[in-house]
Structure 1
């Protein structure tokens, strides 16, 4: 059974009080169901494997990884060759990144369980120290694996497009983005779900 990002009346009521335009969009759209993967390692591997390819292609690559390795674990990935990982349908560079992540965990350079106790910015700092993991990837893991509640990604073009559509702007600069982000806090991740939806309308 798929696990969904959890939010409810408290978060919705807060956002509607803080921002009338967002509140109207929430009423129109209704509840949004987005799946999460609480296994941080497999979520991290899938995020790197999925970079710069379509959602359908990403599903195929992740399915091939499961076929190849069974349970995707730090041990199974670290003990594989880059060629074995690459055969699952990705570039050799991505295969190297993924193997490097497995090695970082098995060698103790990255403690995934300890990440859950850290504030968001420290999680981002640790994850972006890995080759192949940028700020946007780390932020998506905060939302869709760790279910952190207050993430609005400046680096996500769809988030910015959603803001522009919601507020009737042709462009949005960093200062305006930060004003909206602070307005949504501490439920920025829920606002992000709606901004993504608005961006596709």
Structure 2
């Protein structure tokens, strides 16, 4: 399993910039989050993960890989939406995944080009497609492209993590941006720790 790569440099920077986050890093140690380097498979996994628990998403992802083998545009394009749905997805998600496979196969979406684009442009291109929102594109940036500075305002877990870490009852966009800027340029690493805060923080 390939995991999101980071190390002492990123952790030392975050600990220096943010005392509260630094204390969490010292308690938790290194984290392992699986990365799916193939952009199409990673995009499918991000769509699966939309608005469901990590456990449920992992189960569906295992079923899809077991059923289809390799998650490629050609294989998914040739499958029926019903076949995809049988792996545990809603029909809406199954149709979205089919549509993205079709766009890749037909050359309407060139995923390899995304590697050359800044984060904002990757989000803009992907979120213009049916079934892909800002959050899904941000998850692809982290968990497939391993971009280093992604902190998602649209992610409930990230917002809740910030509120717990800093003792906030609510979180404004302005407060969020202040923290995000403090984490930069290693916001993605900060995100990993916000997702995995100890329960007693």
| TM-score of the pair, normalised by structure 2 | 0.93
Moved more, 78-87 or 6-15: 78-87
**Alignment-derived partner of residue 164 in structure 2:** 165
Q: How many residues align?
A: 200
Q: Which runs of 5+ in 2 are unaligned?
A: none
Look up the SS of the partner of 1:161 in the other structure. helix
The 1:56/1:13 distance shift into structure 2, 3 A limit, reads closer
What residue in structure 2 maps to residue 129 of structure 1?
128
Q: Are 1:189 and 2:191 matched, yes or no?
A: no
Deviations 1:45-92 (A, max 9, x none): 122123233333323322332233222110111122222222222222
Gaps of 5+ in 1: none
Q: 1:113 to 1:177 in 2, by over 3 A?
A: same
* 1:90 corresponds to 2:89: yes
| Misfit runs of 4+, over 6 Å | none
Native 8 Å contact 2:158 2:195 kept in 1: yes
Q: Does 1:139 align with 2:138?
A: yes
Task: Report 1:59-74 matches (<5 A).
Answer: 59-74=58-73
Whole-angstrom distance in 1 between the partners of 2:199 and 2:107: 41
Residue 46 (str. 1) matches residue 54 (str. 2): no
Say what the alpha-carbon RMSD is for the aligned residues. 1.6
Q: Structure 1 length as normaliser, TM-score?
A: 0.93
* 1:117 matched residue in structure 2: 116
The 1:165–1:61 alpha-carbon spacing in structure 2 relative to 1, beyond 3 Å, is: closer
